[in-house]
Chain A
Amino acid sequence: MASLRIMRITIFEDGFAENLNPLALTRPVFALRCGTRLLYEKVLDRYPDAYASFFMRGWLAEVYLEKFSGHGRIKAINDLNWLRGDDHLIVNGRWLFEESLVESEEVVAVKNETIVYAYLKEDTLNEGLRKVKNLMELLDWAKMEVGVKRLDEAKIINYPWDLVAWNGEEIRREFPRLKNSLPRKDLSEFQSIGVVGEKDNLLIAKGANIYPNVVFDTSGGPILVDEGAKILSFSIISGPSYIGKNSWILGGKIRGGTSIGPLCRVGGEVEETIIHGHTNKYHAGFIGHSYIGEWVNLGGLTTTSDLKNDYSDVEVYINGKLINTGRLKVGSFIGDHTKTGIGTMFTTGSTVGVMCNLISSGAPLPKYVPSFVWFYRGKMGRGLGLDSMLRTARKVMSRRGVEMSEAEERLYRYLYERTRQERERLIKIYRKRRW
């Protein structure tokens, strides 16, 4: 199939972005990770000459304008006018992008009620932009104008567990291209590491360091250890797995289907889990079928349950609603900057907001913990307030040489207000409980 010459891409969040909370509280959905890359990176990777713009919930725009200001290829955020001047590929940020599904005809591709992508030529766009006030109106108008095609094979990410479920497969899909593009080390450079399965499916990037007595098992899928990563002795890594840039695996058991983002420190057991980045889980403890955000610190022996004792479908609270996942194995979804004390236990299908401080009381934590909550002695509380939490967050970030910008601080202040009602309600409910 002839590859489309795409020069302009727009990636957007639709009305269901918030179903990816708590991970989508501090980032647009297309900044989430699946496989080795973030969702938007997958699109940009396929069209290396294209420039891109993003559409996201308004209150995220400031932080992301800042984050992308040096990017070069990302030109605008929430700017409808940027769609003038060229043919455009407009992609739903919740679509797990597959280049082969994009065709060179003007069309709006949908799956059920969800717009997967739209490919619109310059003239069509200019006409449409005269008539509409926002992107969603433009896409609705385009449906009528250029026609609709069904794309049932498209993988749409509805909830956080979808990302986890597709993680292993994405690593497999991305591996062949990375094999060719990433400068790699020869395995003979490392002493006494063991490889079970195809040696060719193990990719250790330049600058990565593997200590003696590490075992890689590629029989289940490929393994990629990215630049600057460090795997300490007596780690066992099973594929398909991805260890991100400058991350350390500290004698851990990384089981298949796991992606670890950059600058993480991971020990203990991790299985079929996505750790976004800049997160610590140094010590023993099991994390399975989970998505852990950024700047999270999981204290020793923090453990998630990913299977119910009666083997029934796991249910998860998303934005206060209990959703049946239809799956047997679902772990926990933990927002940015949350910290757990030693011995914290998460029940099957837990969701925890951002900047929480969770201290175990001997029993598993509540299934849903709203943002900015201290859980202590079995009760939810306000802790020492937002200023204190931000102070701690800044300290955590500065240890890795990162400064929290004023825009980021404004984002957290905004989230604090937004989540206030829900937090107060749950604190009240938990006050009445007897422990």
Chain B
Amino acid sequence: MDLGIGIDILDLEKFRKAVQKHGRRFLKHILTQNEIDYCMKFKDPIPHLAARFSGKEAFIKALGDAGDWSPSWRGIEIISTNGRPILKFDVKTRDMLERLGVKGVDVSLSHSGRYVVAVAVIRKVD
């Protein structure tokens, strides 16, 4: 069994500025509609939006070198279930992950002041 681990840290102020400058255009590249809708329910959606982006980046790093392919941000969705983030994938991404021998994935998010941090772990079949 192979384990891959990835970590990402994001500066919230930089993220906030990017959202203010490009708005929806920026968000629709990195988040699905479901994710955007969910985060917009909060008074300050920025940390929630940023945490999801960071989670996806951590996941991509945990995946490691997959040759010519890397997952698209919109092909990954982070859903909150009972306060825990769960990774979900669109069909194409799920197929590719299967081909790469990915058996299990997990992600954890955290936020403090100016920063958001995410860790992802991937279990691969040998």
Interface residues of A (CB under 8 A from B): 374, 381-388, 391, 394
Contact = CB atoms under 8 A, between A and B. Distances in A.
Contacts of B96: 384
B99 A387 contact: no
A386 B99 CA distance: 13
| The 3 residue pairs across chains A and B that have the minimum distance between CB atoms | A385-B67, A382-B67, A385-B65
Contact of A387 (B65, B68, B69): B65
B3 interface: no
Contacts of A388: 66-67, 99-101
A54 B2 CA distance: 35
A42 to B, nearest CB: 39
B38 to A, nearest CB: 32
A384 B126 contact: no
Given A388-B99, A391-B101, A383 B68 contact: yes
Nearest to A372: B67
Given A384-B99, A384-B100, A391 B126 contact: yes
A215 to B, nearest CB: 45
Given A383-B67, A391-B126, 10 more contacts: A374-B67, A374-B68, A381-B67, A382-B67, A382-B68, A384-B67, A384-B99, A385-B65, A387-B66, A388-B100
Contacts of A386: 65, 67
Contacts of B124: 387
Interface string B88-116: 00000000100111000000000000000
Contacts of A387: 2, 64-66, 100-101, 124
Contacts of B64: 385, 387
Contacts of B66: 384-385, 387-388
Nearest to B4: A387
Contacts of A385: 64-67
B-side interface size class: 10 to 19
A381 B68 contact: yes
B68, B99, B100, B124: residue with the most chain A Cβ atoms closer than 10 Å = B68
A349 B96 CA distance: 35
Contacts, number: 36
A382 B2 CA distance: 21
The secondary-structure label for the interface of chain A is mixed
A385 B65 CA distance: 6
A47 B83 CA distance: 75
29 contacts: A374-B67, A381-B67, A381-B68, A382-B67, A382-B68, A383-B67, A383-B68, A384-B68, A384-B69, A384-B96, A384-B99, A384-B100, A385-B64, A385-B65, A385-B66, A385-B67, A386-B65, A387-B2, A387-B64, A387-B65, A387-B66, A387-B100, A387-B124, A388-B67, A388-B99, A388-B100, A388-B101, A391-B126, A394-B126
Contacts of A383: 67-68
A391 B1 CA distance: 12
A388 B68 CA distance: 12
B118 to A, nearest CB: 23
A381 B101 CA distance: 20
A74 B11 CA distance: 60
B75 to A, nearest CB: 16
A385 B96 CA distance: 12
Interface in B45-60: none
B64, B65, B101, B124: residue with the most chain A Cβ atoms closer than 10 Å = B65
Nearest to A386: B65
A374 B67 CA distance: 9
A348 B120 CA distance: 49
B13 to A, nearest CB: 35
Nearest to B66: A385
Nearest to A379: B68
B100 to A, nearest CB: 6
Contacts of A381: 67-68
A426 to B, nearest CB: 14
B107 to A, nearest CB: 21
A56 to B, nearest CB: 29
A387 B126 CA distance: 9
Interface string B68-97: 110000000000000000000000000010
Interface string B1-31: 0100000000000000000000000000000
A131 B68 CA distance: 51
A383 B124 CA distance: 18
Nearest to A385: B67
A391 B126 CA distance: 7
A381 B99 CA distance: 17
A382 B65 CA distance: 10
